[in-house]
DNA sequence: GTTTATACTGATACTAAGTATCATTAGGAT
DNA sequence: ATCCTAATGATACTTAGTATCAGTATAAAC
């Protein structure tokens, strides 16, 4: 229990909904469907993908509610907007501590890593700011690479084998142009 | 010569245009105006701000050319898109080496810092990726803080005094919500 | 200097992503 | 069962950016 996200979609949704109830948001049909779709994606997703998938699940749910739920979840810190290759992606965040993401450029798989497990890195960021005379406030850090599974299946290959929740058909064309 | 960007707008534009000529792009009136406006901003700017400022300078220049030039420059690596507080900003990049940006959350002032001057930081990023089993490929890093000038003028204040190219009237409402 | 080829232009129409409005519905407290 | 109002779906709108295309002006050839 380390690699594969300990919580299945169902319990993730349950947890998200518990949070909503705790803050006296109402538990609606639309929200349930939208959250379920979000939790079922294993990858970051675009708003359009979400819209699509929700429509496929229940055509009666309106566009606006998809965006409303997305925004609500973002404001609750449980969804985060990423900027992958110029395309806005959203991802569920299970970690509540200060963390960042590593994303596989081949398959889109995303993992969270806690800042507390990488103090050296983060103190380096703050140190850099201070060296330039800045009072550090915040930062954005996103790391891209090839995940273990994609390294196995094809030493320079394109798509991962559809195993281990890895499938979903090579979307996420993260053809990074270069470092930034 | 350290703090205040060694090159004035005019020489920046000259340099940009030299690059265009070198790659046999045409030196047009529209491009000249747009590049001049871009170089005159000291801060990152939104596409809308650019559009505005260009229109103010020369109303005959079309919207499309603004975006065309922006995109062209981006593809040439001399303009970069930043994601400040959810708003897309663009900024000129004078450094051609691998670098990142520190942005002042008070006044929007942005500085570039070369990766080669912060090897510890960057090796920490790669090290992190490798520790998670990823083959590092690229990363996005943006640092936010309060710049030296804004620290002076108001120890918790809002707008910087309009000195030192610092003015332009407290735009850039980078009211970051929290760390990411 | 005049001609010429075509890269680039401005106007305009269009798309994509997201937001605002508002009458209607349904969640959940009592 | 009743009631209040948060949340909804439909729809119109906005904002950021793209595509199209006839016309223009740059730069190279003469
Ligand atoms: Mn996360
Ligand atoms: Mn730069
Ligand atoms: Zn992968
Ligand atoms: Zn400042």
Residues A1 and A77 grouped into a single domain? yes
Is pLDDT at A173 greater than 70 in this prediction?
Answer: no
Tell me: the pLDDT tens digits for A44-100? 999 999 999 999 999 999 999 999 999 999 999 999 988 877 788 999 998 888 899
| Binary contact (B124, A128; C-beta < 8 A) | no
Average pLDDT, chain B: 82
B139 lies in which domain range?
95-158
pLDDT score of B158: 44
Residues B85 and B101 grouped into a single domain? no
> For strand C, which residues in window 92-151 of chain B come within 7 Å by CB?
none
Tell me: the pLDDT tens digits for B72-129? 999 999 999 887 777 889 999 988 788 999 999 888 888 999 988 888 888 899 999 9
In strand C, the nucleotides that come within 7 Å of a protein beta carbon are 7-13, 16-21, 26-29
**Which residues does B90 contact at the CB level (< 8 Å), separation at least 6?**
B38, B44, B45, B46, B47, B50, B70, B74, B79, B80, B81, B82
pLDDT score of B42: 82
* Cβ pair A76, A38 in contact under 8 A: no
Is pLDDT at B177 greater than 70 in this prediction?
Answer: no
Residues A113 and A143 grouped into a single domain? yes
Residues B113 and B57 grouped into a single domain? no
Distance CA A125, CA A138 (A): 9
CB contact, 8 Å: B85 with chain A?
no
Residues A30 and A108 grouped into a single domain? no
Q: What percentage of chain A has pLDDT greater than the value 70?
A: 82
Tell me: the pLDDT tens digits for A40-50? 998 899 999 99
Of A34 and A110, the structure prediction assigns the larger pLDDT to: A34
CA-based nearest residue to A131, from B98, B12, B180, B111: B111
Residues B25 and B101 grouped into a single domain? no
Residues A120 and A43 grouped into a single domain? no
Residues A68 and A135 grouped into a single domain? no
pLDDT score of A177: 29
Residues of chain A positioned with their CB less than 8 A from the CB of B133: 147-148, 151
CB contact, 8 Å: A121 with chain B?
yes
Q: Which helix (H) or strand (E) holds B137?
A: strand B135-146
**CATH number assigned to the domain comprising residue B114:** 3.30.1490.190
Is pLDDT at B156 greater than 70 in this prediction?
Answer: no
**CATH number assigned to the domain comprising residue A18:** 1.10.10.10
Residues A74 and A106 grouped into a single domain? no
Of B165 and A102, the structure prediction assigns the larger pLDDT to: A102
Tell me if B167 is assigned to some domain. no
Is pLDDT at B17 greater than 90 in this prediction?
Answer: yes
Residues A105 and A42 grouped into a single domain? no
Tell me if B10 is assigned to some domain. yes
The beta-strand segments (E) located in B1-118 are 79-84, 87-92, 99-104, 110-114
Q: What would the two tokens of residue B168 be?
A: 């332009």
pLDDT score of B4: 42
Tell me: the pLDDT tens digits for A100-145? 999 998 888 889 999 888 888 888 999 999 999 999 998 989 999 9
Of B40, B64, B94, the residue at which a domain comes to its end is: B94
* Cβ pair B115, B97 in contact under 8 A: yes
Average pLDDT, chain A: 82
Residues B86 and B114 grouped into a single domain? no
Q: How many domains does chain B have?
A: 2
Tell me: the pLDDT tens digits for B32-84? 999 999 999 988 999 999 999 999 999 999 999 999 999 999 999 999 988 77
């Amino acid at each position: 229990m380390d690699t594969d996200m300990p919580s299945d979609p169902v319990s993730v949704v349950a947890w998200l909904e518990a949070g909503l109830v705790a803050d006296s948001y109402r538990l609606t049909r639309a929200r349930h469907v939208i959250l379920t779709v979000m939790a079922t994606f294993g990858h970051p997703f675009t708003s359009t993908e979400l819209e699509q998938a929700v429509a496929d699940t229940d055509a009666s749910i309106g566009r606006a509610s998809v965006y409303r739920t997305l925004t609500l979840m973002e404001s609750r810190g449980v969804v985060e907007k990423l900027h992958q290759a110029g395309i806005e992606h959203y991802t569920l965040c299970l970690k509540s501590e200060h963390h960042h993401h590593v994303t596989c450029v081949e398959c889109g798989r995303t993992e969270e890593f806690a800042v507390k497990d990488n103090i050296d890195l983060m103190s380096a960021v703050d140190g850099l700011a201070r060296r330039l005379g800045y009072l550090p406030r915040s930062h954005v850090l996103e790391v891209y690479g090839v995940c273990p599974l994609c390294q196995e299946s094809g030493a320079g290959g394109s798509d991962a084998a559809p195993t281990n929740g890895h499938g979903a058909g090579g979307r996420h064309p993260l053809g990074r142009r270069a470092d930034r």
